[in-house]
Structure 1
Amino acid sequence: MKVIMQPIEMMAHFNEYGFPRPVKFKARFEDIPFVIVIDKIILKSEEKIAGNPIIIFRCQSIINGFLKMYELKYELHTCEWFLYKI
Structure 2
Amino acid sequence: MKIVAKPIGVVSWTDVNGNINPVRFRITNEDESYSVIKIDKIICVDKEKLAGNNMLVYKCQSAIDGVEKLYEIKYEFNSCRWILFKI
Q: Does TM, scored on the shorter chain, surpass 0.5?
A: yes
Q: How does 1:42-61 map to 2 (within 5 A)?
A: 42-61=43-62
Give per-residue Cα distances to partners, 1:23-78, cap 9 Å, x unaligned: 00000232231000000001110011122110000100001111011100000121
**Letter of the aligned partner of 1:21 in structure 2?**
N
Q: State how far apart, in whole Å, the 2-side matches of 1:42 and 1:29 are.
A: 25
- Report the count of equivalent residues: 86
Which residue of structure 2 lines up, in the alignment, with residue 19 of structure 1? 19
TM-score (norm 2): 0.91
* Structure 1 residue runs without a partner (length 5+): none
1:81 aligned residue: 82
Partner residue of 2:42? 41
CA RMSD of aligned residues (A): 1.1
Deviation, structure 1 residue 17 = 3.2
What does residue 70 of structure 1 align with? 71
Provide the TM-score with structure 1 as the length reference.
0.92
Which stretches of structure 1, 4 residues or longer, exceed 4 Å deviation after superposition? none
Unaligned runs of 5+ in 2: none
Amino acid at match of 2:8: I
Question: Quick one: percent identity of the two aligned structures?
Answer: 44
Distance 2:49 2:67 in 1: 32
1:7 aligned onto 2:7: yes
Partner SS for 2:11:
strand
